[in-house]
Amino acid sequence: NAGVTQTPKFRVLKTGQSMTLLCAQDMNHEYMYWYRQDPGMGLRLIHYSVGEGTTAKGEVPDGYNVSRLKKQNFLLGLESAAPSQTSVYFCASSYSSTSGYTGELFFGEGSRLTVL
Amino acid sequence: AQSVTQLDSHVSVSEGTPVLLRCNYSSSYSPSLFWYVQHPNKGLQLLLKYTSAATLVKGINGFEAEFKKSETSFHLTKPSAHMSDAAEYFCVVSDLFMEYGNKLVFGAGTILRVKS
């Protein structure tokens, strides 16, 4: 019963480096999301996907790219990391509006990224 | 536009005493409201949700919340705090489900400390 799995859990980058965070879910959810969590700001939506091959921008998309090549995976990429991207990143998934959506999101345990 | 205000960034209670975490919301439509809990170094977990049915909502671990439209509030309560309740709590509002993706707005969070 894995649910939503994020890798890696911790990463330290230097400014300008690139990296990819991987999210995998085994609940056959249509929708997937990437959030960032910063102290005192709650969670903010970076990008989301409503199905395989489709992605859309959220509230804070600048500096990030995403891909959803397979239904169960949602990748978040940083092409040129900046210190402002130091944060905890959460992936989440949910049912779609036509397949049992209740408003509940299922979250991974987070990926802590530090950019020096 | 929808928004959420959690009125206390930190709440401290003694074990066995009541818990009150306050949340006010702003929404243009008839909102759905949620409380999520995040234990240290973990992902977020749904505690309870209000989706226009009963105004008093019961959740997991003895928590409940009351939707008060006249006060635009959705406060979270528990009669008797347990040490395991120490965590960060997020109030979340969602307007009508958007055609693409899930439009959730998170509050900044309230850290609950439980003293023995």
pLDDT at A96: 77
Query: E-strand spans in B69-109?
Result: 73-78, 87-94, 104-106
Q: Do A90 and B51 touch (CB under 8 A)?
A: no
Nearest-angstrom CA–CA distance, A45 and A33: 7
- Given this model, what pLDDT does residue B102 score? 59
Q: A40 to chain B nearest CA, in Å?
A: 5
Residue B98: closest C-alpha in chain A: A97
* Cβ within 8 Å, pair A105-B43: no
Beta strand spans in B8-106 (E): 10-14, 19-21, 23-26, 32-38, 44-50, 56-58, 64-68, 73-78, 87-94, 104-106
Residue whose structure tokens are 């939707």: B67
More confident residue, B69 or B64: B64
pLDDT at B96: 53
Whole-angstrom Cα distance, residue A41 to residue A109?
A: 18
HSE-up of residue B49 (Cα within 13 Å, Cβ side): 13
Using CA coordinates, name the residue in chain B closest to A39.
B108
Query: What does the pLDDT profile of chain A (116 residues) look like in tens digits?
Result: 679 999 999 999 999 999 999 999 999 999 999 999 998 888 999 999 989 999 999 889 999 999 999 999 999 999 999 999 999 999 999 887 677 667 788 999 999 999 99
All residues of chain B having their beta carbon less than 8 Å from the beta carbon of residue A107 are 43-45
pLDDT, position A1: 64
Strand partners, B5: B24
Q: Is the CB of residue B33 less than 8 Å from the CB of residue A104? A: no
For residue B58, give both structure tokens: 């019961």
- Residue B98 banded pLDDT, cuts 50, 70, 90: low
B7 has a chain A CB within 8 A of its CB: no
Which of A105, A70, A71, A77 lies closest to A91, judged by CA? A105
Q: Does B97 sit within 8 Å of A50, measured CB to CB?
A: no
Distance CA A29, CA A100 (A): 10
